[in-house]
Amino acid sequence: MDRTVRIRQFIEDRFLVEFGGEVTDGTDLFKAGVMDSFGYIQLMGFLEEEFSIGVTDEEILTDVFVSLEAIDAFVARKLAGPGAGQGDASCAG
Amino acid sequence: MCGIAGFLAPSLHPDAAPGVVTSMLSLIRHRGPDEAGYYLDDGFAMGTVRLAIVDLAAGSQPMSDAAERHWISFNGELYNHVELREELRALGRPFRTHCDTEVVLQAWIQWGPECLTRFDGAFAFAVRDAVTGDLFLARDRYGKRPLFYTEHGGALLFASEMKAFRAFPGFRFTLDPRELASVFAVWTPLPDRTPFQGVRQLPMGGVLTVRGGRRTLRTYEELAVAAPPFEGSEEDAAAFVRETLRASVEKRLRGDVEVGVYLSGGLDSSIVTKLATDLSPREVRTFSVEFESAEFDESGSQRVVASHLGTRHSSVTVSGADIAEHFPSAVEHAEVPAFRTAFVPMYLLSRHVRDSGIKTVLSGEGADEAFLGYSLFRETMLRASWHELSGEEREAGLARLHPELAHFGPAHRKHMAGLFQQFSEERLPGLFSHELRYQNGRFAARLLEDRGIDPFAGVLDLVRTAPGYADLTAVQKAQWLEYKTLLAGYLLSTQGERMSLAHGVENRCPFLDPAVVRAAASVNLRFDDGSEEKALLKRAFRGELPASSLARRKQPYRAPGSAVFKDRRPEYLELVLSDTELGKLDWADPVFARKLVAKIMATPAEEISTKEDQAFVLLLSTALLDQRFVRDTAWPDASPESGLKIRTVVDNRRVLPRVGGMR
């Protein structure tokens, strides 16, 4: 399944929203009342496990995790860059 | 304890007034089953249902002064009535009874509304001046006793519980989506609001004057969460706190009936129990809720304290089935949406207390707000200092917050740091302390059909206009908000007063004595950094309570939530399960409501998050209110004959209804 679709589906199932209506890919999910602390931890766990990526202490302190768009872009960068899954590591550099 | 109700209705036909006021009283007769009485003058009626506590024989209401000019309907207790009586007597005021109601009345005549700041008590009352026609409504400074009012067809109605309005000709309840959004977001109604259109509460510390058809609402005392720092050693401070609390409990043990204690097993109610056993001439009885489910049960701690202090202890065991069975009745007494089910066991506990022959109980409410018991305060301090802390300090702070919650555990600490980073800047002006909690509220506010409503507009306005609020520290702001919302709007009301009074039991809160609140404000964070909850309070009672009570961390009082409805499938669950029923809730977004209900019904309880659980309980309780307050226009037991023991009737009407009909 496509990366974006997987993330979107997780958020829709967990947070009872549907993207495309009042919640869009760019919506701040905190401000929209979609995400809370428990959900945020679930989402981070999902991303790390599902895409075998590790999020560093520095990355977690930036604000990339507030919208679907930003989350998706971050995962895409991680998968493409160094330190991601093994397949990615071989083509980095 | 009592309930009051009345109206200022110049255009109501005089023939109708006695029937209307007695019907209003009969709808709240659970608050005062011992006797009832009412007073009438031209265009005005008010009455009281009374649970006799002080001066059982002579305290009938409504009561007047000897000249029969000032009339009072009083709900509550004045704890410093002995001292005030002496002061008033010295000023020449005459007394005919030993009842605290008369002290309130004489204080009113002597000092006018200025008397309110002298009162230490839990009260709400109405005073009618028969000469000028002025009407005054007043409420205690923490909002312990309720008082609602509304306008209907040119009449002003008031009552201890809103349900009394049903008896006024033509009155109908309508849910107000704007207020519902605020309740869902903030968890409770704001101090002067209710979920119903046009129905207001008199806010805590408020006095409403109706003079010549004009209404003026004024705050007679602002909430003070700041105080000059305590001068002296930590040991002196502990002794000061201990003595202030002792005096508070002593005042609350006055009265002519036996007083019991609600013992949760935590620090606060254990302290109250300890002081009550020291000060009471008779054996103290303690009462607790036990849960069938070990996850929620605290009976172990309760028994340790009861046996250590030698109380006569009894408890009521509550199951999920009990919660499901009694939820609708408890909601009807609460009259406002509820975000958790924990008030239902308190409804069952008060029934048990009443059946044990006790009319008055002490409890530990207010301690967490005054002495910084909630993790919310530590969380606020951590986020407020976030940018000054090192990575290690942040981790250590996070580790201390919720050791009981898995998602705050070591495995997720890095992610939690990311979350806290996001909430380290204020987004909602003045609400920094509550912004993380309000995320749950934002979720629940999605239950509202109208997405154009800002659910935080009301609370933002409240803090923006509160005198002195901007100058408070982050933690003091958090306290202020807790006093104004969760404490008054849920703990003292839905989970406290309304559940106790459902069975005619009066609750008293020694931690909510103005002297105790002041003492706490003067010692908080003076001798410790707040990382240990209620450190000074623990120190004050070290050696007097079982070591385990002092050592254990605060365990929030909780009850099983949405799972009980899913497991028991009570009939009323149809209100949210059926599309037809959901469609009748004109304020609700059916799509989101359906999704939420479907998830709750299909997901194992342990995978339901707090915000989902809360949103579901809010939806179900509001659907019940909609069914019973809005759509059910035939209120079943509003007949004045149903059990009212009318003892006092005063008819001061100059325009008397004609006997024998029209001529």
Does B412 contact A at CB distance below 8 Å? yes
Residue B578 CB contacts under 8 Å (≥ 6 apart), including other chains? none
Q: Would you state the structure tokens that stand for residue B207, as one six-digit string?
A: 């006095």
Cα Rg, chain B, nearest whole Å:
25
DSSP letter string over B340-393? Answer: SSTHHHHHHHHHHHHHTT--EEE--TTHHHHTT-SHHHHHHHHHHTGGGS-HHH
**Closest-CA residue of chain B to A57:** B414
With beta carbons under 8 A apart, name residues in chain B contacting A67: none
Mean pLDDT in residue range B519-537: 94
Going by C-alpha positions, the residue among B346, B625, B387, B364 that lies closest to residue B509 is B364
Closest by Cβ to B592, choosing from A16, A32, A35: A16
Prediction pTM value: 0.94
**Could you count the other beta carbons within 10 Å of the beta carbon of residue B469?**
18
**The CATH number of domain B234-365+492-551, selected from 3.40.30.10, 3.40.50.300, 3.40.50.620, 1.10.287.610:** 3.40.50.620
**The CATH number of domain A3-82, selected from 3.90.550.10, 1.10.1200.10, 1.10.150.120, 3.90.76.10:** 1.10.1200.10
- Annotation-wise, does B364 bind a ligand? yes
Q: Would you state the structure tokens that stand for residue B175, as one six-digit string?
A: 């849910």
Mean pLDDT in residue range B511-537: 95
SS3 B230: coil
Same fold, B2-193+200-222+643-651 and B234-365+492-551: no
Instruction: Supply the pLDDT for residue B660.
Output: 41
Examine the pLDDT at B409 and tell me if it is beyond 50. yes
Mean pLDDT in residue range B373-385: 95
Looking at chain B, how many residues does it have?
A: 663
Going by C-alpha positions, the residue among B204, B195, B11 that lies closest to residue B119 is B204
Confidence at B225, pLDDT banded by 50, 70, 90: very high
Closest by Cβ to B417, choosing from A33, A34, A60: A60
**Closest-CA residue of chain A to B452:** A22
Please state, in angstroms and rounded to a whole number, the distance separating the CA atoms of residues B181 and B139: 26
Instruction: Supply the pLDDT for residue A85.
Output: 46
Closest by Cβ to A37, choosing from B407, B421, B595: B407
Q: Smallest CA–CA separation between A28 and chain B, in Å?
A: 12
- Per the model's pLDDT, the better-predicted residue between B655 and B172 turns out to be B172
Confidence at B581, pLDDT banded by 50, 70, 90: very high
* Residue B384 φ/ψ, nearest 5 degrees: -65, -30
Instruction: Supply the pLDDT for residue A87.
Output: 37
Examine the pLDDT at B367 and tell me if it is beyond 60. yes
**Across the interface, do B599 and A16 touch by the CB < 8 Å criterion?**
yes
Instruction: Give per-residue pLDDT as tens, B194-223.
Output: 999 999 999 999 999 999 989 999 999 999
Yes or no: say if B107 and B88 are a contact pair by the CB < 8 Å rule. Answer: yes
Average pLDDT, chain B: 93
Angle at alpha carbon of residue B534, lines to B532 and B539, rounded to 5°: 95
DSSP letter string over A3-60? Answer: HHHHHHHHHHHHHT--BTTTB-TT--TTTTT---HHHHHHHHHHHHHHTT----HHHH
**Across the interface, do B439 and A45 touch by the CB < 8 Å criterion?**
no
* Residue B288 φ/ψ, nearest 5 degrees: -140, 160
DSSP E strands in B147-254: the ranges are 148-152, 155-159, 199-201, 206-211, 214-219
Stretch among B296-310, B338-352, B631-645 having the lowest mean pLDDT? B631-645
Give domain limits for chain B: 2-193+200-222+643-651, 234-365+492-551, 375-482, 562-631
Does B610 contact A at CB distance below 8 Å? yes
Residue type, B235: E
Q: Smallest CA–CA separation between A19 and chain B, in Å?
A: 13
**Across the interface, do B418 and A38 touch by the CB < 8 Å criterion?**
no
Order of strands across the sheet that contains B206-211: B63-64, B70-78, B121-129, B135-139, B206-211, B214-219
- Per the model's pLDDT, the better-predicted residue between B118 and B400 turns out to be B118
Instruction: Supply the pLDDT for residue A90.
Output: 32
Q: Smallest CA–CA separation between A5 and chain B, in Å?
A: 20
**Across the interface, do B422 and A30 touch by the CB < 8 Å criterion?**
yes
Stretch among A56-60, B45-49, B77-81 having the lowest mean pLDDT? A56-60
pLDDT above 90 coverage of chain B, percent: 82
Angle at alpha carbon of residue B639, lines to B637 and B640, rounded to 5°: 130
Yes or no: say if B125 and B74 are a contact pair by the CB < 8 Å rule. Answer: yes
Yes or no: say if B7 and B164 are a contact pair by the CB < 8 Å rule. Answer: no
Please state, in angstroms and rounded to a whole number, the distance separating the CA atoms of residues B441 and B378: 20
Please state, in angstroms and rounded to a whole number, the distance separating the CA atoms of residues B169 and A17: 44
Yes or no: say if A79 and A51 are a contact pair by the CB < 8 Å rule. Answer: yes
What is the dotted CATH code of the domain comprising B2-193+200-222+643-651? 3.60.20.10
Task: For chain B, count helices (H), then strands (E).
Answer: 25, 18
Order of strands across the sheet that contains B506-508: B312-318, B285-291, B259-262, B360-362, B506-508
Instruction: Give per-residue pLDDT as tens, A16-29.
Output: 888 988 889 999 88
Instruction: Supply the pLDDT for residue B470.
Output: 97
Examine the pLDDT at B296 and tell me if it is beyond 70. yes
Q: Would you state the structure tokens that stand for residue B652, as one six-digit string?
A: 């001061």
User: Is-catalytic flag, B509?
Assistant: no
**Across the interface, do B417 and A61 touch by the CB < 8 Å criterion?**
yes
Mean pLDDT in residue range B615-637: 89
CB pairs under 8 A between A and B: 71
pLDDT above 70 coverage of chain B, percent: 96
Please state, in angstroms and rounded to a whole number, the distance separating the CA atoms of residues B326 and B570: 10
Confidence at A88, pLDDT banded by 50, 70, 90: very low
Please state, in angstroms and rounded to a whole number, the distance separating the CA atoms of residues B110 and B104: 10
Sign of the torsion angle spanned by Cα atoms B472, A30, B622, B563: negative
Residues from A in contact with B at Cβ < 8 Å = 15-16, 22, 30-42, 44-45, 55, 57, 60-61, 63, 65-66
Instruction: Supply the pLDDT for residue B639.
Output: 55
Examine the pLDDT at B321 and tell me if it is beyond 80. yes
Does B443 contact A at CB distance below 8 Å? yes
Mean pLDDT in residue range B41-53: 89
Please state, in angstroms and rounded to a whole number, the distance separating the CA atoms of residues B308 and B618: 39
Mean pLDDT in residue range B396-406: 85
Going by C-alpha positions, the residue among B386, B388, B461, B385 that lies closest to residue B430 is B461
Please state, in angstroms and rounded to a whole number, the distance separating the CA atoms of residues B375 and B397: 11
Examine the pLDDT at B444 and tell me if it is beyond 70. yes
